[in-house]
Amino acid sequence: MKTSPQPATARVRARVERFHRHRVAGEWSGRELLSGRSPQPGDVRVDSNDYLALAGDERVAKRMADCLLGGQDQVVPEEDLTSHLRARAGVLCQSGWDANLGLLQAIADEHTPVYVDQLAHMSLAAGAKLARAPLRPFRHNDLGHLRRRIERHGPGVVAVDALYSTNGSLCPLAEMCDLVEETGCVLVVDESHSLGTSGPLGAGLVVELGLTGRVHFRIASLSKAFAGRAGFVAAQDPAFVPYFRLESFPAVFSSRLLPHDLAGLAATLEAVRTDEWRRDRLREVSAWVREEVAELGFDLEGSASQIVALQTGTERHTIDVRESLEEHGVFGSVFAPPATARNRSLIRLSLHCGLGDDDVTRIVEACRDVRDRFGVEPARP
Ligand SMILES: Cc1ncc(COP(=O)(O)O)c(C=O)c1O
């Protein structure tokens, strides 16, 4: 006798129940993974990507308020962002996710493999899947592995982050350009964590390294150093922009940015370009924290930036470490599956230029306490 299929409602319920049984009640023993007590005034917040401490900046808030109150003409800072990135063309998107998703969906297809660094942002792989492109991940920053993959599967799109959001390591961009040119691939570089913080006037790593003519597409979330809610795609070919506006699904099927968001972005861009002291201070605190935390014995996995991650391994151990940091008033962000591989969870400390010397000392002391209580190795199951 033919058995009737389980109703979809039951399958959905079973998935939700499995999550609660395995993760919430099982691995986490009923504790919260992502957050514990709420941060209070005086606590050290290193849980956002507001690297230049521009969230709530008066100049930005005023421009947004003026726009909302109808006192200013509408602005679309697309051209200014394009020239800031020293690109030939550029297009604003609703978010970094939409920029990556829409870009990969618009440039890849069934016949164009997408080679994505294992630590690159999930939105790149999601765009490749939407394009039904064969997805060929390669080991983090391993150009030999990438070359072998391309030799086997043919030229395609290579997608990397300039600065990796989970461990703060940098992509070897010049060598990547060499390989991409040699193999006839297209290069996409996600500058979400380097735009505003690196390069001349914060133009990003591709500009800093003199590679603008060699990188086909750059994307950035404008929710990190730009502290807003938008994304950007920079392209070398001006003809790409009208194509993208009509071929990228998020551009076609999702509502646009709001005028006051655009006004805020325009003001933020000015602040990013003007306030060099913010980048100087960010570099200073980042080097300081990296040096001290590495000296404590933590493996920073090659971080060369404002992102410093404590590798915690299992989710249970991540909760212990998070709580220990919180006891010192230090709030980082938890990364766990699906943002990491299983049992490769971590706590990211996103440093910013608003940190005082006392804050840095507190961060280091909190990390010392973690080391003394739990050791420096990530927990394995
Ligand atoms: C490297 C990278 N790319 C893209 C995104 C997505 O950006 P958004 O938050 O603006 O959608 C993020 C944010 O998580 C990111 O870290």
Is residue 62 one of the residues assigned to a domain?
Answer: no
CATH number at residue 364: 3.90.1150.10
Average pLDDT over the chain reads 96
- 192 is written with which tokens? 């979400």
Is residue 105 one of the residues assigned to a domain?
Answer: yes
Nearest CA to ligand 1 atom 4: 96
* Rounded distance between C-alpha atoms, residue 351 and residue 346, angstroms: 16
Is residue 35 one of the residues assigned to a domain?
Answer: no
pLDDT at 3 over 70: no
Q: Clarify whether residues 165 and 215 are in a common domain.
A: yes
Q: Clarify whether residues 45 and 96 are in a common domain.
A: no
Ligand 1 pocket by Cβ (under 6 Å): 95-97, 100, 121, 123, 161, 165, 190, 192-193, 221, 223, 231
Q: Report the separation in Å between the CA atom of 101 and the middle of ligand 1, taken as the mean of its atom positions.
A: 11
Q: Which atom of ligand 1 lies at the shortest distance from residue 123's CA?
A: 4
All residues at 6 or more sequence positions from 257 whose CB lies less than 8 Å from its CB, including other chains: 92, 94, 229, 230
* Rounded distance between C-alpha atoms, residue 356 and residue 358, angstroms: 5
Question: Please, which pLDDT band fits residue 74 given cuts at 50, 70 and 90?
Answer: confident
- Domain range enclosing 112: 71-273
Across the range 137-157, mean pLDDT stands at 98
Question: Which of 192, 265, 346 gets mutated to test ligand 1 (max ligand atoms within 8 A of its CB)?
Answer: 192
Burial class (CB in 10 A: 0-12, 13-18, 19+), 376: middle
Is residue 2 one of the residues assigned to a domain?
Answer: no
Q: Report the separation in Å between the CA atom of 224 and the middle of ligand 1, taken as the mean of its atom positions.
A: 8
State pTM to two decimals. 0.96
Question: Please, which pLDDT band fits residue 70 given cuts at 50, 70 and 90?
Answer: confident
CATH number at residue 255: 3.40.640.10
pLDDT at 47 over 80: yes
The residue from 232, 254, 273 where one domain ends is 273
- Total domains in the chain come to 2
Is residue 145 one of the residues assigned to a domain?
Answer: yes
Q: Clarify whether residues 292 and 207 are in a common domain.
A: no
Q: Report the separation in Å between the CA atom of 244 and the middle of ligand 1, taken as the mean of its atom positions.
A: 19
The residue from 225, 253, 273 where one domain ends is 273
- 222 is written with which tokens? 């404008």
CB atoms within 10 A of CB 248: 25
Question: Please, which pLDDT band fits residue 238 given cuts at 50, 70 and 90?
Answer: very high
pLDDT digits (tens, 9 = 90+) for 172-206: 999 999 999 999 999 999 999 999 999 999 999 99
pLDDT at 219 over 80: yes
Q: Report the separation in Å between the CA atom of 251 and the middle of ligand 1, taken as the mean of its atom positions.
A: 17
